[in-house]
Amino acid sequence: MRRIGHSTRVGIAAVCLALVAAACGGSDDPDTAGSGQTGGQTAEGRPGGVFRVPIGEPASIDPYQARESEGSNVTVRLFTGLVTYDGNPELKMRPGVAERWAPNGDCTEWTFNLRRGATFHNGEPVDAAAFIRGWTRAAIGTAASQVAYHLQQIQGYAPLHATPPTATTFSGVSSPDPQTLVVKLDAGDCEFDKQLVHPVASPVPSSAGAANNATFNDAPIGNGPFMLKPGTKWEHNQRISLVRNDNYFLSKPKLDGIEFIIFPAQGRLEAEYRAFTAGEVDFARIPPTLNQQAEATYKPQGSFIKSEQSGINYILTNNAKAPFNNPDARKALSMAIDREAINRGVYQGFLTPATSFISPPFGQFFQPGVCGDWCKFDPAKAKDLAGRAGLTPGTRLKLAYNNDGGHEPLVQAWKDQLERNLGVVVELDGVPFAEHLQKRDRGDFDFARAAWTTDYPSPDGFVTPLLKTGSEDNDGKYSNPEVDTLLSRQKTLRSDAEREKVIEDIEKLAIGRDLALVPTYYRTAYRVFDSSKWTGLGLDFFERPTLETVSQK
């Protein structure tokens, strides 16, 4: 996860909700995924209005495949799971559909007591069967979900997730009555409830059908604070129109609706910022090279958001094939890149170079400097390591990146520095984000620009998805049995104090010794919004705008 420090608890000061006047932290760029939703402080305002948000074309807005930022930004408005969390400031778990929940003594069994009266947008009750339906639909092998692994600790996942499946549901999930859900795990996991903020753990109505139901994929019927505008569906490459769910069982938003306007991939970041300056959208990300200009223009108006976030920017290496199956090649790559020079030249000093993988807002779990010399610029040492790893001058390397996020100046700087300092030949391979993820899934890259925002408010949301052998988000195919053992062990620990030492050991092995992933910059989100019309806007723990708290001035 992310940044800041001097905290005795995960997430203290991690979420600076940046409600206009608030400010904290250091860097930004749009990418992966997260989930869950948080409230925030809301300024008094009038109800009504439609808030216009620019996004890229999602890979999916169906919770079974909610794996990237664009789609998840929509999905979390449509669905609410068993639990949510309070983002101000300690990320405490809060009731969603579940009113109460608790594990047994060794965290191998969890019982959730569901509230009465919660319904889907079509009026169907949200009961225990709806959760069993949603979880099974996502986990079954024929769904080919990239995020089903969030449910993999539940008993019966393996036969259900097999291809072809040898089971039709989870053996470890039962419903003694419609308002009670009992979940048995293969091994103790004392943070299982936190993982259920991910959209993949959402309930679905009986009409959802199988995961390949195109009708539901484009027009999901959820139980969240917003629903698709009646008579509409996802208009691919154009828009997704939502309206407030007046029957929502938690606090209702003030907005009448949200218009997600889909921008073309090529030059998207610049296009959405231009649209904001032209008054065509109410919120926008900022091209990294324009952060300074945007701050000077919009901060005096109260329209500039600077919010320290729970993510990390990094270089993903393909550890399954040469040359990056050799740790020395990964270390050479890292040491051949001058993070400080790129920060000054590309980002106008708005980023903070990373020296660890878990970022500062995780307080006691943050280990600055764990990367050691491997994150320091040293071209002579880099060349020596490259030679030992067979990364010789003239070696051709494919650098993959998504070309709809404003990353061209960054990847060009990497290319220039690597060719100059190592003598390699770097081919830039830029494609839209959804296609970029597919290429990473196939292993069709040598190294890639990547960023990660945790899927749930815990450092486990960093280390398990990205470092565990076989994880569907472990695109670099890193594998270390010693790390896997520690990953399993930390899940059984009840207190942060106990978990802290194990997380520390994981990062020392995976980053300090193996450099499984190459940290580059901690993330701080920079955004602009129209403060002349709107109030109550912030960013949640997953870098999403807090649309549930927005109101008209």
- What does the alpha-carbon distance between residue 387 and residue 56 come to, in Å, rounded to a whole number? 41
Run of H or E residues at 273: helix 268-277
- What does the alpha-carbon distance between residue 81 and residue 79 come to, in Å, rounded to a whole number? 7
Contact between 45 and 536 (Cβ < 8 Å): yes
Establish if 397 belongs to a structural domain: no
Establish if 310 belongs to a structural domain: no
Please state the pTM of the whole predicted model.
Answer: 0.81
Q: How many domains are there within the chain? A: 1
DSSP string, 152-210: TTBTTHHHHHSSS-S-SS-TTEEEEETTEEEEEBSS--TTHHHHTTSGGG----GGG-S
Establish if 502 belongs to a structural domain: no
Establish if 47 belongs to a structural domain: no
- Pairing of the two strands 518-529 and 304-317: antiparallel
Contact between 154 and 140 (Cβ < 8 Å): no
Establish if 492 belongs to a structural domain: no
- What does the alpha-carbon distance between residue 141 and residue 503 come to, in Å, rounded to a whole number? 31
Cα dihedral 359/363/194/504 (nearest 10): 70
- What does the alpha-carbon distance between residue 346 and residue 104 come to, in Å, rounded to a whole number? 51
Establish if 409 belongs to a structural domain: no
Determine phi and psi for 145, rounding to 5 degrees. Answer: -70, 140
Count of C-beta atoms within a 10 Å radius of residue 474: 20
CATH code for the domain of 180: 3.40.190.10
Run of H or E residues at 51: strand 50-56
Establish if 391 belongs to a structural domain: no
pLDDT string in tens for the chain (553-residue length): 222 222 222 332 333 333 333 333 223 333 333 333 333 334 578 999 999 999 999 999 999 999 888 999 999 999 999 999 876 546 688 999 999 999 999 999 999 999 999 999 999 999 999 999 999 999 999 999 999 999 999 999 999 999 999 999 999 999 999 999 999 999 999 999 999 999 999 999 999 999 999 999 999 999 999 999 999 999 999 999 999 999 999 999 999 999 999 999 888 999 999 999 999 999 999 998 899 999 999 999 999 999 887 789 999 999 999 999 999 999 999 999 999 999 999 999 999 999 999 988 888 899 999 999 999 999 999 999 999 999 999 999 999 999 988 899 999 999 999 999 999 999 999 999 889 999 999 999 999 999 998 888 889 999 999 999 999 889 999 999 999 999 999 999 998 899 999 999 999 999 999 999 999 999 989 999 999 999 999 998 788 999 999 999 9
Residues of the domain holding 110:
58-263
Establish if 198 belongs to a structural domain: yes
